[in-house]
Amino acid sequence: MKLGQTSRRWCMGPHAWLSVAFLAAALLLAAAARSAGAQGSSSADIGAGFTGTGTYLMPPKSAGPPPPGIGPMYRASAIVTGTDMRQRPWGFARCLREVLIKVSADPRLENDPRTARLAKHADRFVAYFSYVDLMAADPLHDEQGTYDRPYRLTVYFDPVRIDAALAAFGERPWRGVRPAIVPVLRVTGPKPPPYVLSAEIAVGAAQRGAFAVAAGEFGMTVRFPTKAELAAWGVSATHFPSSTAQAPPNRSPGEMDVVGTLEWSESLPGWIGRWRADWNGTPYRWGVKGVNYDAAFRDIVSGVVLLASGRGSPD
């Protein structure tokens, strides 16, 4: 048989190609349906009490409000990719760590091996979870807009199970009053001039946001002093307290002042933070170096939490 004859045997007319295309499309649709079904089953089988659902291409539909009686200390959020199982276990674990620390007021649990073991099975403590599409205002136009879309995963944990886990650690929930943190910080960044982080100063907007996030992760709040308060205290970038005796006067019983400096170091590189606070008549000093300012603010907050809860000292 000649080569030309063999080639003609495999040639297809336009109608034959259309048939093949329709068949291929049907097969792809069937496979997608099977995949969606399998994904839905895996979501439902994660653990008892779960009400969140999701697929690879669509955000989960609301399954109603979360269970009543779960306060803010027992819930946390994490930014994940998609609503499927690629990052959900990681998100659950991260949120569990945050909740254990918030409820107990013991920052040391973050690096505790027992916390790491619990985090591997974080789904066992979940009562409800939901997703919020962070790109909801952006049109879907490609793979980045569907499969790899960022979501805020919010996880509600069962308070009874969380309290029991803490009891097994020899810990207990902190039910006491949580003072608002009032940071009085002199910031010396990569570019001069230095400034005091007030409630109004424009250059400190990102740092105020980062501090608020850090405080929230520990179940705390922050109140930045106003320019008027700083002026009344005699505090400025050129005249800054050098000891706890010079800390702002007229402290509110529901607040804890933290006075300190945050300086950028090119040689590390990173920020160097030095803080001091006076709690129940006793002065405390602590600090951190070689970190970003998010971590620096977490260091401040964790120290305040230890002092206010009576769990320990940040020294």
Is-cis flag, bond preceding 193, omega within 30?
yes
In this structure, are strands 180-188 and 255-265 parallel, antiparallel, or unpaired? parallel
In this structure, are strands 282-291 and 270-279 parallel, antiparallel, or unpaired? antiparallel
Domain boundaries, the chain: 35-175, 180-309
Closest CA to 238 of 272, 202, 192, 201: 192
The 10 Å Cβ neighbour count of residue 97 is 22
Q: How far apart are the C-alpha atoms of 279 and 256, rounded to whole Å?
A: 8
pLDDT tens per residue across all 315 residues of the chain: 444 343 333 334 444 443 433 344 444 434 443 433 333 333 223 233 333 333 333 344 446 788 888 999 999 999 999 998 999 999 999 999 999 999 999 999 999 999 999 999 999 999 999 999 898 887 766 555 556 789 999 999 999 999 999 999 999 999 999 999 999 999 999 999 999 999 999 999 999 999 999 999 999 999 999 999 999 989 999 999 865 445 565 567 789 999 999 999 999 999 999 999 998 889 999 999 999 999 999 999 999 999 999 999 997
3 state SS of 3: helix
What is the structure's pLDDT at 102? 97
Report, in angstroms and rounded to the nearest whole number, the Rg of the chain calculated over CA atoms.
Answer: 27
Phi then psi for 257, rounded to 5 degrees?
Answer: -80, 135
What is the structure's pLDDT at 144? 55
3 state SS of 9: helix
Query: Residue 259: in which H helix or E strand, if any?
Result: strand 255-265
> Which pairs count as long-range contacts for 109-118, CB under 8 Å and 24+ apart, including other chains?
109/169, 109/171, 112/169, 114/169, 118/165
Q: What share of the chain is helix, strand, coil (3-state, %, to 5)?
A: 40, 20, 40
Domain 180-309: top CATH class? alpha beta
Beta bridge partners of 222: 181
Burial class (CB in 10 A: 0-12, 13-18, 19+), 303: buried
